[in-house]
């Protein structure tokens, strides 16, 4: 068994509008993300199933021609390989679970996250 302390995990500043802390396990990636109001995560897709649990704020998810508003206390599941884009309506904090591990993040192949500017 292994334990992790979020307070000891370094905060990674992706852009002036987005930051994260990440834990990679054998089969999952767990990330805490902070998006400032107006932040945009451009459309992207990945092989991973994604579960986003919002603890504060509101986010808009654009997927398959639909728009989903996710508010604090709600959870959204994104199936593998579904293109999606995210906009922060308010300052928001989310926990994302990915299965399998986000190999692209381990490789540093996540340039789409590093813009994150306002719309």
CATH code, 83: 2.60.120.10
In a domain, 21, yes or no: yes
Model confidence pLDDT, tens digit, residues 31-42: 999 999 999 999
pLDDT band for position 117 (50/70/90)? low
User: What are residue 86's DSSP bridge partners?
Assistant: 41, 61
What is the residue whose two structure tokens read 């994150």? Answer: 116
- Measure the CA–CA gap between 81 and 44, rounded to whole angstroms: 9
User: What are residue 15's DSSP bridge partners?
Assistant: 18
pLDDT score of 116 more than 70: no
In a domain, 102, yes or no: yes
Q: Is 49 left (phi over 0), alpha (psi -120 to 50) or beta?
A: beta
Q: What residue numbers bound the domain in which 30 lies?
A: 12-113
What's the DSSP call for residue 107?
Answer: H
What's the DSSP call for residue 79?
Answer: -
Model confidence pLDDT, tens digit, residues 55-67: 999 999 999 999 9
Q: Tell me how many domains the chain contains.
A: 1
């Amino acid at each position: 068994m292994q334990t992790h302390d979020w307070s000891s995990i370094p905060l990674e500043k992706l852009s002036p509008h987005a930051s994260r802390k990440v834990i990679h396990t054998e089969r999952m990636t767990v990330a805490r993300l902070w998006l400032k109001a107006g932040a945009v995560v451009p459309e992207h897709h990945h092989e991973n199933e994604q579960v986003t649990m919002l603890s504060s704020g509101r986010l808009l998810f654009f997927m398959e021609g639909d728009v989903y508003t996710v508010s604090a206390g709600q959870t959204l599941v994104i199936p593998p390989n579904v293109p999606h884009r995210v906009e922060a309506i308010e300052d928001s904090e989310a926990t994302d679970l990915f299965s399998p591990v986000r190999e692209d993040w381990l490789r540093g192949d996540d340039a789409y996250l590093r813009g994150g500017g306002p719309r």
